[in-house]
Chains A and B, each alone.
Chain A
Amino acid sequence: MIGVLEFPGSNCDYDVLRALQDVVKTEARMVFFKNQDLSDLDGLVVPGGFSYGDHLRAGAIAAKMEVMDKVKVLAAQSKPVLGICNGFQILCESGLLPGALTRNTSMKFICKWVKLEVQNSTSAFTNLYKKGEIVNMPIAHGEGRYFCDDNTLKELKKNNQIAFAYNGENPNGSVENIAGVCNREGNVLGLMPHPERSSEKLLGGEDGRRIFEAMVNHIKSKK
């Protein structure tokens, strides 16, 4: 069972639920942030949106909610935790992933399809891609400029934690074109692009589907 964590202001929650239930045909349920029981979950997705209106900093308030302590327990149990867009911002603000997401260099909200290069093809989410493969996914964010200090960047490279990098153009000014990073163990991934919006042909592309398929495979392999 995969949970989709909802905060006030989450708005890609049902898109993710559909990708899990109808596209990759796995068991999934909504988890409201006030519901503290995550014991039945084998994995979790923190979807996109504007939790708490993006006030203070994008993802900052959701990251400090009590439920995030439970999410940290799931991650520590090697269960897959995926943060998409605002979910990525929440995972960074909570300390589950290194770095921070800041205002796009252009100051504009950018909503378009982008090309991504797969840089890590071994994590729980990316092992169905080939290293160096170019995939298409849409982005939709105003605060997606990934930043981390030089030491963290060195660590990310050394540990193969840069999962996806923008290819061709860097839409938001992210350091090293970073679009998504994972933790050292590879069971926590955050990315600004939306795999759920690129999981079916009808949506304009299906390159994002393999992230969910890999997540489901990872869960099955642990059982």
Chain B
Amino acid sequence: MDVEIVVKLKKGLLNPEAKTIEKSLNLLGYKNVSDFDTKKVFLMKIDAKSAEEAGKQADEMCRRILVNPVIQEYEITVK
């Protein structure tokens, strides 16, 4: 199964990388750009019997190491 995990900073948390990129876009003349954001995407293959099983395992990985719940939230897609 192809599994995609999208990790992003929790709402309201400052994302300095996104702010810096947004500023640079504004400086390049794209003054109509706002709310710029960045996310992290993890891609992997999981050998599992069903999409549900793969999703469950991916969720376990997120809780164990891939995501820090203090600052981040995540979404899992199994294809």
Q: Do A and B originate from a single complex? A: yes
The smallest C-beta distance from B71 to any residue of chain A, in angstroms, reads 5
A202 at interface, CB cutoff 8 A = no
Query: Taking CB as reference atom, which chain A residue is nearest B21?
Result: A107
Describe A's contact surface by its main secondary structure: loop
Which listed residue (B13, B17, B20, B64) contacts A64, Cβ 8 A? B64
Docked complex Cα distance between A102 and B65 (Å): 16
Residues of A within 8 A of B34 (CB): none
Number of contact residues on B: which range applies?
A: 10 to 19
Contact A103 B16 (CB under 8 A): yes
Contact of B66 among A56, A102, A147 (CB under 8 A): A56
- In whole angstroms, what is the CA distance A148 to B65 when docked? 18
Number of A-B contacts (CB under 8 A): 33
A60: B residues at CB distance < 8 A: 65, 68
On chain A, the residues within 8 Å of B64 by CB distance are 64
Q: Does B14 contact A (CB under 8 A)?
A: yes
Number of interface residues of A (CB under 8 A): 20
Q: Decide if A213 is an interface residue (CB 8 Å cutoff).
A: no
| B70 engages A64 (CB within 8 Å) | no
Residues of chain B contacted by A92 (CB below 8 angstroms):
70
- Using CB atoms, name the residue of chain B closest to A148: B70
Distance in angstroms between the alpha carbons of A106 and B66 in the assembled complex: 25
Contact residues, A35-83 vs B (CB, 8 A): 56-57, 60-61, 64
- Nearest CB of chain A from residue B57's CB, rounded to whole Å: 16
- Chain B nearest CB from A163 CB (Å) reads 19
Contact A100 B68 (CB under 8 A): yes
- Contact of B17 with A107 in the complex, beta carbons under 8 Å: yes
Give bound CA distance, A106 to B13, whole Å: 15
With A56-B65, A60-B65, A64-B64 as known contacts, state yes or no: A107 contacts B70, CB within 8 Å: no
Our pick among B16, B20, B70 for the contact of A99 (Cβ within 8 Å) is B70
**A 107-122 contacts with B by CB, 8 A:** 107
Q: Is A102 a contact of B71 with CB atoms below 8 Å?
A: yes
Name the one of B14, B17, B20, B70 contacting A100, with C-beta atoms under 8 angstroms. Answer: B70
Q: Choose among B16, B68, B70, B71 the residue that contacts A105 (Cβ–Cβ < 8 A).
A: B16
A104 and B19 CA atoms in complex are apart in Å by 12
Nearest-neighbor residue (CB-CB) of B16 within chain A: A107
A interface residue numbers (CB < 8 A to B)? 56-57, 60-61, 64, 92-93, 99-100, 102-107, 145, 147-149, 173
